[in-house]
Amino acid sequence: MTAVLETRALDKRFGGLHVTRGVSLQLNAGDRLALIGPNGAGKTTFVNLVSGVLAPSSGQVLLNGEDVTDRTQAQRVRAGLARTFQITTLAPHLPVQRQIELALFERERLTGRAWRSIDAYPLLAAEARALLGDFGLAAHAGLATELLAYGEQRLVEMALAIALRPRVLLLDEPMAGVPQGEGTRLLAALAALPAELAVLIIEHDMDLVFRFARRIVVLAEGAVLADGTPDQIRRDPMVRAAYLGA
């Protein structure tokens, strides 16, 4: 079976600083993988390499068996990769529904017609309404995202990513900055992601990591320290010494 995402000896240097050191991993359809490690381990740099924000110093990124190392972020999105960021990147003044509509227009290569009402495209209109419902956002459809609670903004980001119909979803610290009282809805949204979607999550909340992930990769100083099931990672003495503690 061809992996939906594969990195081969991915390496990144910033001058004399070696941030990512030969990271190789695979994700198959339906995987739930958590990438953890101490601050400065290179987790976000790795995701930036995979998504095309950064170019690697060496190594390869493959999507569905095809080398996309030299492709732009937009080309990788069209190849089936979507991501969210540590800090929300939503348009603050644009209504929630309109942002989802624009994501659907982009996916269908209709951005030149984005001035038209989505009602001119009944199937897309129905999909937009379904996404709003799936993420519990229907009541906020007409609100600008800046008026939403931070946890709700995170839900909008996830809805936008899913609107692109990715095969791989990268979530960079989805719980960062979310008050504890708002986290329940995010956890429910994570649990409800499509079963066939491969998900890689970066997260410092270990309760979430061990509840969500079926496999965990630990980075330390830019390299893979351990790769295994949650139980294997929890018991690994090197991981406990480097990150989890006693």
Assess whether pLDDT exceeds 70 at residue 244: no
pLDDT for 245: 59
* CATH classification of the domain holding 95: 3.40.50.300
> How far apart are the C-alpha atoms of 159 and 196, rounded to whole Å?
16
| Letter string b/e over residues 23-51, b meaning 16 or more CB atoms within 10 A of that residue's CB | bebbbebebbbbbbbeeebbbbbbbbbbb
pLDDT of residue 160: 93
pLDDT at 218: 94
% of residues, the chain, pLDDT over 70? 97
- pLDDT value, residue 61: 98
- The helix, strand and coil proportions of the chain, stated in percent and rounded to the nearest 5, come to 40, 25, 35
pLDDT value at position 39? 86
Check residue 29 and give its pLDDT. Answer: 96
Helix (H, G, I), strand (E, B) or coil at 160: helix
| Number of separate domains in the chain | 1
Task: State pLDDT tens for residues 115-150.
Answer: 677 778 888 889 999 999 999 999 999 999 999 988
pLDDT given for residue 87 in this prediction: 65
Tens digit of each residue's pLDDT (9 = 90 or more) over 28-67: 999 999 999 988 889 999 999 999 999 999 999 999 999 9
pTM to 2 decimal places: 0.89
Mean pLDDT, rounded, of the chain: 90
Degrees, nearest 5: CA angle 152-171-210: 95
Say what the pLDDT of residue 183 is.
77
Residue pointed to by tokens 């351990």? 226
| Closest CA relative to residue 128, chosen from 148, 99, 150 | 99
pLDDT in tens, 163-192: 999 999 999 888 887 877 777 888 888 989
Identify which has the larger pLDDT, 205 or 227.
Answer: 227
pLDDT at 246 over 60: no
What residue numbers bound the domain in which 222 lies? Answer: 5-244
Q: In 10 A of CB 202, how many CB atoms?
A: 22
